Amino acid sequence: MFETIVFIVFAVVAMVGAFAMLAARNTVFSAMGLLATMFSIAVFYILLDAHFVAAVQVIVYAGAVMTLFLFVIMLIGVDRIEGRDEEIPFQRPITVVLVVGLFAVIVAAGSSAWVTGWRLFGETDLNGTIETVADALFGTWMIPFLSTVFLLTIAAVGTIALAQFGPGGLHAVDEDDDHEERVS
């Protein structure tokens, strides 16, 4: 009972947040909406006994990623409001068709036994504590875990390169000369 109420409440919050993200003219409002959705999803994780994942969701997604987004929004075009007109012909009808189709297909897939494989494993009690997750992560899934190390390293290097050597960076390569120069 309690679970149902919490679910419904936070489901509404999530949807409203998503709509807000879509509809807001001001980019910061969009970010706020997404933030709300992410918090709701963290709540859903707790309802599903995935405590560790919920914590990570809040820390990484809501904490780091959205903060990053807000930084960039501040850097770029906070004062610019997006126009209302749609330039691409038929984009809106096409989108509606596509999205409705996607939704329908996903729901249909989700209800089918072939995709979900329900009733294969029976009801079990899953405890999403750190220990359980860590056992799986550092046990069976060690190699993918280590690969993510590489992924993060590369992402960091790439970002630094873009920032330093891209346009307007400290060490931007001047196109007229062959060597690097300090761009003041």
Partner 1 sequence: MIVSVGWYMTLAAGLFSLGAVGVLLRRNALVMFMSIELMLNSVNLTFVAAGGELGLIEGQVAALFVMVVAAAEVTVGLAIIVAVFRRRGTANVDQLSELEG
Partner 2 sequence: MIDFLWLVIAFPLTGAAVLLLFGKRFGDPWAGWVASGTVFASFLFALPLIIPLIQGTEEAQTVFIYEWIPIVNADISILWDPLSALMTLLVTGIGTVIHVYSIGYMRGDGRFGRYFAYLNLFAGSMLILVLANNYAMMFIGWELVGFCSYLLISFWFVRPAAAAAGKKAFIVNRIGDFGYIVAMMLIFFVFGTFDFDIVFGSAASELSHGMAVAITLLLLLAAAGKSAQIPLYVWLPDAMEGPTPVSALIHAATMVTAGIYMLARSAALLDLAPETGTIIATIGVITAFWAALIAMSQRDIKRVLAYSTISQLGYMIFAVGLGSYVAAMFHLTTHAFFKALLFLGAGSVIHAMSGEQNMWKMGGLRKIMPITFWTMVTAWLAISGVFPFSGFWSKDEILASAFVEQSWVLWAIGVATAFLTAFYMSRLMFLTFFGEERWPEGTHPHESPAVMTGALVILAVPTVFLGGINTPFALTFEHFLEPAFEFVQLPHPGEAVTLVSLAVMSGLIALAGVGFAYFRYLRRVPQQATGGYWSAAEDGFYIDDIYGRTIVLPGKWFAGWLAVSVDEEGIDRIVNGVGGSVRRLGDAMRPLQDGWVRSYAAGIGFGALGLVILMLFVGGVF
- Residues in Cβ contact with 3 at an 8 Å cutoff, skipping those fewer than 6 apart: 47
Please tell me whether residue 101 binds partner 2 under the rule CB under 8 A: yes
Supply the Cα-derived Rg of the chain in whole angstroms. 22
- Amino acid (1-letter code) at residue 111: S
Minimum distance of partner 1 from residue 11's CB (angstroms): 5
Asked whether the beta carbons of 73 and 26 are under 8 A apart, the reply is: no
Residue 135: which of partner 1, partner 2, none does it interact with, CB under 5 to 8 A by kind?
partner 1
Residue closer to partner 2 by CB (options 95, 153) is 95
Range 111-130, binding partner 2 (CB under 8 A) = 112, 114-115
CB of 114 to partner 1, least distance (A): 14
Please give the structure tokens belonging to residue 173: 């390569």
| Window 58-87: residues binding partner 2 (CB under 8 A) | 87
In terms of Cβ atoms closer than 10 Å to its own Cβ (0-12, 13-18, 19+), residue 10 is buried
What are the respective helix, strand and coil percentages of the chain, to the nearest 5? Answer: 70, 0, 30
Residue 112 contacts which entry, partner 2, partner 1, none (Cβ below 5-8 A, type-dependent): partner 2
Measured from the CB of residue 184, what is the shortest distance to partner 1 in angstroms? 15
Q: Does 94 bind partner 2 (CB under 8 A)?
A: yes
Q: Using CB under 8 A as the criterion, which residues of the chain lie in contact with partner 2 when the complex forms? A: 87-88, 91, 94-95, 98, 101-102, 105, 108-109, 112, 114-115
